[in-house]
Structure 1
Amino acid sequence: MSAHPDTRRPLLPGEATLGVMGGGQLGRMFVHAAQTLGFRTVVLDPDATSPAGLVAHEHIATGYEDADGLRRLAAVADAVTTEFENVPAQALLALAEHRPVAPGGAAVAVCQDRAAEKAHIQAAGVPCAPHAVIATAHDLAAVPDALLPGILKTARMGYDGKGQVRVADRAELATAWAALQQVTCVLEKRLPLLQELSVIVARGADGQLVNFPVQQNLHRDGILAVTQVPAPDVAPALAEEAVQCAGRIAAEMGYVGVLCVEFFVVADPADATAARLVANEMAPRPHNSGHYSLDACDLSQFDLQVRAMAGLPLVAPRLHSPTVMLNLLGDLWGDGRAPGRTPDWAAVMALPGAHLHLYGKASARPGRKMGHLTLSGATAEQVRETALRACALLGLPAF
């Protein structure tokens, strides 16, 4: 079987089996979307109680590089996708010898390395933050003064604020690199941040590209806390620029599947009244900031993930309701002073336009993504007011 979905007929609902590497909440929502269309589903994840594994037709409980597990997945699935970027790219490349894989291992490998990612973003003609790669003591000494103060980030395995250290000067930079075990890092210049945005696109093997509306995001402690759509503080021209940039990045990579590109809106040093766009990072999968699409759009990001990997038509999704999404972290279940408490879901669900999604994870811990709450309504003002009421009920900070 060809490794490329565009060289074969589309996989049809009711006939094919779709596989996913990874068993977290993104895999769970992918499985639900595939099953709604009538596809059979199979998950490969080492956790016997993974959220996606619990709802799929079949769960292969092996490691991601286990040869027997990969063989079994290729034997059952007609196409394979991934639900998180740290699935070994080599495993995806091995699967692609037998089955269509979207996104491909080469694209995932780019997203797994911040240095390669920034090089790719620049190759697509999209600006990113001024930065330097630090792999050796010589690189450390050669860092330009203009990059400080900055943020030192490990090149690999960093997400949700992990592997990142703010540094003010060269002494702090040296200390931080040592604390990170002198692994390869990227030092990014700290920029005057105005807003954080993300754009989710879906691209088919034939190059067809569709996108969701620009999403305005708020992070706390490096973890997404709030997403608002439409983005309330973003000028239409800047939003359109973000969409175009995300499309160029996907096309440059020959990407197939759902891709999220995160952007910073920063103050223009040459004009205090102007703002400019800087690409931050990308995720080769559906994204936390796009979960609202399950409730506020006629097609969700997971619907488009299914369509892209199966070679089915990509239809531009339509936002039918203004929306706010709140991330629900494990902190809500207890902070050590009141362990085991359960949020008042009945009160939350009494709010108009409230859509509660819990991911079926066995245990809650601080910072762990346990679910999300989407609030939708007739107007953005109404939705924001309802979302603030939800924050008050859950003990979350206002935004």
Structure 2
Amino acid sequence: MSASPRVPLPARVLLLGSGELGKELTISLQRLGCHVVAADSYPGAPAMQVADEQRVLDMTDPRALDALLEECRADLVVPEVEAIATDRLARAEEEGLRVVPNAFAVRATMDRQLIRSLAAPLDAVRTSAFRFASGADEIRAALEVTGLPAFVKPTMSSSGHGQTRIDSADEAERAWERAVRGARADTGRVIVEEGVDFDCEITLLTVRSWDEETRRIRTSFCEPIGHRQKDGDYVESWQPADVSPAALDACRRMARAVTDALADGGGGSALGLFGVEFFVAGDDAWFSELSPRPHDTGMVTLATQRLSEFDLHARAILGLPVDTSLSRPGASAVVKAPRPVERAVYEGVGEAMASGADVRIFNKPVTRTGRRLAVCLADGEDAQAARRTARGAASLIRVIEDPRGDAAAPAVASLDHD
């Protein structure tokens, strides 16, 4: 590729999905002069609060998405969620619309069946044993390949929704029903994965950007991010993760191979940041899954890097130079809703900041117990020190009803300390 993919500034960007990651990305894009139209299924979503324009629609409705694409006429369309009519994106791309990273990558990474089927045959990639299933009987059959324990996940979901660990074939029916309820879209399929005995899970932020000097796309990596999940949803992350050089080299080879395959499937460009997840045990590593956009665990980069993952994504998709270097070790810890409340008030924010952390409140409607509402960020001499600060700060924040809610309840009960 010799023609520069640089987008003239100011660019017009349509953001499909407007959560907390989209909010930070919007800010990064606006700092580069971009005009951002933020779309989501509900009004007042986090990115809408800072975007230049807002649209509310069902993005899984092909006609509604078609109308939005026609109306906005954006220079770039940037998906941030899974629930999108990806076939319509592909058709619009064929007609000249530029989708980030490309329509094929968006479709493949939003469906675990597609991304796993793409990644597993690659020579450089190692995955856990897996099978796809269309019901409880097929889950039980898949266990003969994966063994026990195993994980059953919807092929289209995120943040642990619909995921179940099973230790017996007798749990197949329950796992199937939970997957169906928790799926972002009904594909009629689940993935059954071998339970890997790992030391840690990491996210390797992988950036495909334009190198003006060589006139080629180059792949670069941030330092690995360790993270801990509860019920499939992340509760804390830290950077850098303590990973052996051999394991890190394997992760980089796999991340490059998968992102190259996604680029090839969409015509060879695919600029932007990818959050690639791995299981690591000693010098061994297994590819888990991938997001074609900033990753929730990567919010730690707001404290650790000169260019956060949002800055990196914004620069890369616009064809601008990137710098993935780490400035200082750091950590993030999330604040979750203790229960649904009509109007949330956050107490203890000053105390959390006084403890040495930064606090980012997403200002989401608190519609369900466990919804991610804020994050505490901290840096330190090392990642472990930063983790202690971030977790301590998160434990100080309480979410209560305004103005006459029940007594304040701890919002971070999920942060059971290691």
TM-score band by shorter chain is: 0.7 to 0.9
Aligned to 2:353: 349
User: What is the aligned partner in structure 2 of residue 196 from structure 1?
Assistant: 201
Question: 1:364/1:346 Cα in 2 relative to 1: closer, same or farther (>3 Å)?
Answer: farther
Give the CA deviation at 1:179: 5.8
Q: Quote the offset at 1:46 in angstroms.
A: 3.3
Shift of 1:392: 4.5
Q: Specify the alignment match of 1:223 in structure 2.
A: 233
CA distance in 1, matches of 2:119, 2:371: 29
The aligned amino acid for 1:86 is: A
Corresponding residue for 2:96? 98
Q: 1:247 to 1:316 in 2, by over 3 A?
A: farther
Given residue 356 of structure 1, which amino acid in structure 2 is its aligned partner? V
1:280 aligns with 2:279: no
Aligned to 1:252: 261
Q: CA deviation at 1:9?
A: 5.4
Distance across 2 between alignment mates of 1:155 and 1:342: 33
Say whether residues 1:148 and 2:152 are aligned partners: no
Residue 141 (structure 1) shift: 6.3
Alignment of 1:51-66 (within 5 A): 51-64=46-59, 65=62, 66=64
| 1:11 positional shift | 1.7
Measured after TM superposition, the shift of residue 180 of structure 1 is 4.6
> 2: distance between equivalents of 1:165 and 1:386?
31
Is the 1:150–1:187 contact (alpha carbons within 8 Å) kept by the matching residues of 2? Answer: no
Relative to structure 1, the CA distance from residue 391 to residue 47 in structure 2 (aligned partners, 3 Å threshold; closer, same or farther) is closer
Opposite residue 50 of structure 1, the aligned amino acid is A
Backbone CA RMSD of aligned residues: 2.6
Distance 2:32 2:393 in 1: 32
Equivalent in the alignment of 2:77: 80
The amino acid across from 2:222 in the alignment is F
The aligned residue for residue 185 of structure 1 is 190
Tell me the CA shift for residue 35 of structure 1.
0.8
Alpha-carbon distance between aligned partners in 1 of 2:239 and 2:169, rounded to the nearest angstrom: 40
Do the aligned partners of 2:278 and 2:289 also contact (CA within 8 Å) in 1? yes
Q: Displacement, 1:79?
A: 1.3
Q: Is 2:127 the partner of 1:131? A: no
Counterpart contact for 1:80–1:309, Cα < 8 Å: no
Q: Is the 8 A contact 1:85 1:284 kept in 2?
A: no
Structure 2 counterpart SS, 1:289: helix
The amino acid across from 2:200 in the alignment is Q
CA contact (8 A) 2:336 2:373 kept: yes
**Match for residue 276 of structure 2?**
261
Letter in 2 for 1:98: G
Paired residues of 1:152 and 1:185 also in contact (CA < 8 A): no
Q: Is the 8 A contact 1:148 1:167 kept in 2?
A: no
Write the mapping of 1:233-252 to structure 2, written as runs, cut at 5 A. 234-252=243-261
Q: Deviations over 1:219-245 (max 9, x none)?
A: 11221011111113x223322322222
Q: What residue number does 2:312 align with?
A: 304
CA–CA separation in structure 2 for the residues paired with 1:342 and 1:25: 17
Alignment check: 8 A CA contact 2:108 2:114 kept: yes
- Rounded to whole Å, the distance in 2 between the matches of 1:370 and 1:58 is 23
Query: Residue 223 and residue 9 in structure 1: after superposition, are their counterparts in 2 closer, same or farther (change >3 A)?
Result: closer
1:11 aligns with 2:20: no
| In 2, Cα distance between equivalents of 1:183 and 1:288 | 27
The alpha carbon displacement at 1:340 in A equals: 5.6
Amino acid paired to 2:91: A
CA distance 1:48–1:142, change in 2 (3 Å): closer
Q: Is the 8 A contact 2:340 2:366 kept in 1?
A: no
- In structure 1, C-alpha distance between the alignment counterparts of 2:199 and 2:129, rounded to whole Å: 17
User: How far did 1:218 drift?
Assistant: 0.6
Q: How many residues align?
A: 378
Structure 2 residue identity aligned to 1:157 = M
Q: Could you tell me which residue of structure 2 aligns to residue 270 of structure 1? A: none
Query: Any conservation in 2 of the 1:216–1:228 contact (CA below 8 Å)?
Result: yes
Distance 2:129 2:88 in 1: 32
Q: Which runs of 5+ in 2 are unaligned?
A: 181-186, 211-215, 264-269, 398-409
Structure 1 residue identity aligned to 2:368: R
Could you list the runs of 5+ residues in structure 1 that have no partner in the other structure? Answer: 267-273
TM-score with structure 2 setting the length: 0.82
**Distance in 2 separating the partners of 1:398 and 1:240:** 30
The answer to whether residue 36 in structure 2 is matched with residue 32 in structure 1 is no
Displacement of 1:156: 2.7
Q: Which moved more, 1:362-371 or 1:247-256?
A: 362-371
Rounded to whole Å, the distance in 2 between the matches of 1:306 and 1:341 is 32
